[in-house]
Amino acid sequence: MGIIERQDLLAVYYAGNSREQTKYRHEYSLVEVKKRERDLSPLLKKLPADILRFLEIAGDLAEKYQLRLYLVGGQVRDIFLKVENRDLDLVLEGDLESYIRELADVFKVQYIYNAQFRTGNLVLPCGLNIDLAGLRRESYRYSGALPDVEPAEDILEDLFRRDYTVNSLVLSLNKAEWGLLLDFFNGLEDLQEGKLRLLHPFSFLDDPIRIIRGIRLAVKTGFTFEEESFALLEEVLTKADFSRLSLDRVLKEMELLFASPVDPALVALLRSYPVFRLLKLELEIDEKLTEQARELESYLAEFGEKNYNIEEWVMRMALFLADAGEGVLNWKVRSDFKEIFLAYYRYKHLLVELDRNLAADELAAKLKGLRDEELLILLVKAGSRRIKENILRYMKELKDIELKINGRDLLANGLEPGPLIREILDEVYRKRLKGSLDTREEQLAYARDLIRKSGENKE
């Protein structure tokens, strides 16, 4: 029986305080919890020199105050995967604020400290981004809530709040135990076998965003979900209620998921797992998306020189949201993001109209006002070659054409204020699109001609 079916158990779990939640995680843990150790100091020597130097200095500083310091999370995982990672997560047993202050002092950098969450951050000039945290115990009041944070009793309890076993490995940085790997959840074996395994069955409910993190990790490493964790993933995605999950938090994780070009493996995973349910969206993920994503990348590279002021992840995600429509309309997100997410939904009717030979002015009239990013989404989604050619022609040849005269010029030439001003400017613009009237003088002469003719018509 799945965890959600056992509603009674969930009710007790979410009614419990943080200590009780830890107890439940332990009791139902998906692996045998046992401390396994291994000397990794030879592996550490292969780290980039700046990372190694930082870890040594940070470890020595902790030693000086007899505090224990650990490297945790993604960096430890990536040491084994031999993937470069410029983010470091450190956990300190002891007074975090004074430790960070001194550490920042040693490196002569600024630091941030958050007393409520017992976390801090500093960035070194060499680009290393260092997150620090005290031992934390997290508990959730309901599925998808922000966690309440309290001090944890030991490193094991701190690790129990984390997502996958491969992210639960810790490395001791103190001198006496330099490079000693502590593996409580058999994460090393999962890492070697390429398995994503949750620590406990409440994990996806505590924080459904971990599903997206898992998919990101699966794409990056080729790992697959272990059977029981996969069953939990499917159960949560089909039955859980995400109504209280914060849109901002999900989008932050989506931003990471779509930070790099869309891999065919990602399309396959998103086809199999309805992760967009976390955004309350039921989407059909089409196989065609792999090709569309590839096409998008080539257009992004081609038009990239134009300096988009929008993040590429938004464009990549917009491809997947093409049919989301109504579901996205109410999102409280940056308006430019929303326009791009909604581009296909709003303008797909144009694609039909663009599937014929169009004169420059007709084409411009249809696509005028759309931003580059919206045009790119339509371009990638367009079914026929003719539509694509039309959109590209507009983007490359017509979009940037502007008139060198304006309404004031027409007033100065004797035209009365009124709708005729717009009509004459439009007429000049149409002629300009056809390739003539390059200079201001020519445009002005043509406009005068039109003003004169309109006067004659009146008489």
* Nearest residue to ligand CTP, scored by beta-carbon proximity: 74
Q: In this chain, which of 167, 172, 186, 229 binds ligand CTP, going by CB under 6 A?
A: 167
Q: Per CB under 6 A, which region of 7-15, 210-218, 225-233, 264-272 contacts ligand CTP?
A: 210-218
Q: Report whether 303 contacts 376 (CB < 8 A).
A: yes
Q: Cα(275)–Cα(269) distance, rounded to whole angstroms?
A: 9
CB of 103 to ligand CTP, least distance (A): 18
Least Å distance between CB 83 and ligand CTP? Answer: 9
Site for ligand CTP in 45-74 (CB under 6 A): 73-74
DSSP 253-295: HHHHHTSSPPPHHHHHHHHHS-GGGGGT------TTHHHHHHH
The region of 43-51, 56-64, 203-211, 268-276 touching ligand CTP under the rule CB under 6 A is 203-211
Among 158, 190, 207, 226, binds ligand CTP (CB under 6 A): 207
Distances (CA, A) of 311 to 44, 179, 372: 35, 39, 13
Which residue reads 């810790």 in tokens?
170
Binding to ligand CTP, residues 216-235 (CB under 6 A): 217
Among 89, 158, 297, 409, binds ligand CTP (CB under 6 A): 89
Q: Which is nearer to ligand CTP, 132 or 376 (CB)?
A: 132
- Whole-angstrom distance, CA of residue 349 vs CA of residue 272: 29
Position of tokens 């009793």? Answer: 153
Strands (E), 23-118: 36-39, 68-72, 87-93, 111-114
What are the two backbone dihedrals, phi and then psi, of residue 220, each rounded to the nearest 5 degrees?
-65, -35
Stretch that binds ligand CTP, among 30-38, 202-210, 301-309, 412-420 (CB under 6 A): 202-210
The CB-of-211 to ligand CTP minimum distance in angstroms stands at 10
Q: Is 162 in the site for ligand CTP (CB under 6 A)?
A: yes
Q: Tokens representing 265?
A: 């493996």
Cβ 426 to ligand CTP, closest distance in Å? 52
HSE-up of 418 (CA within 13 Å, CB side)? 6
Q: Choose one: 187-195, 204-212, 322-330, 366-374; the region binding ligand CTP (CB under 6 A).
A: 204-212
- The count of C-alpha atoms lying within 13 angstroms of the C-alpha of 150, restricted to the half-sphere facing its C-beta, is 11
Q: Please, are residues 374 and 380 in contact by the beta-carbon 8 Å criterion? A: no
Give the integer Cα–Cα distance in Å for 53 and 185.
29
CB closer to ligand CTP, 162 vs 277:
162
Which span (161-169, 180-188, 262-270, 276-284) binds ligand CTP, by CB under 6 A?
A: 161-169
- E-strand stretches of 236-382: none
Shortest separation between residue 194's beta carbon and ligand CTP, angstroms: 15
- Residue 254 CB-density burial (10 A; 0-12 exposed, 13-18 middle, 19+ buried): buried
DSSP class of residue 46 equals T
User: Are the C-beta atoms of residues 136 and 150 closer than 8 Å to each other?
Assistant: yes
Q: Does 190 bind ligand CTP (CB under 6 A)?
A: no
Cα–Cα distance between 360 and 338 in angstroms, integer?
Answer: 29
Is residue 183 near ligand CTP by the rule CB under 6 A?
A: no
- Provide, rounded to whole angstroms, the least separation between the CB of residue 185 and ligand CTP: 11
Nearer to ligand CTP, 74 or 274 (CB): 74
> According to the binding rule CB under 6 A, does residue 195 interact with ligand CTP?
no
> Please, what is the minimum distance in Å from the beta carbon of residue 74 to ligand CTP?
3
**What is the distance between the alpha carbons of residues 416 and 259, in angstroms, rounded to a whole number?**
54
Among 117-125, 208-216, 226-234, 381-389, the segment contacting ligand CTP (CB under 6 A): 208-216
Size of the site for ligand CTP (CB under 6 A): 11
Segment interacting with ligand CTP (CB under 6 A) among 31-39, 189-197, 207-215, 442-450: 207-215
Q: Which two tokens stand for residue 302?
A: 């081609």
H or E stretch covering 172: strand 170-172
How far apart are CB 251 and ligand CTP at their closest, in Å?
13
Tell me which residues touch ligand CTP (CB under 6 A): 73-74, 89, 162-163, 167, 207, 209-210, 213, 217
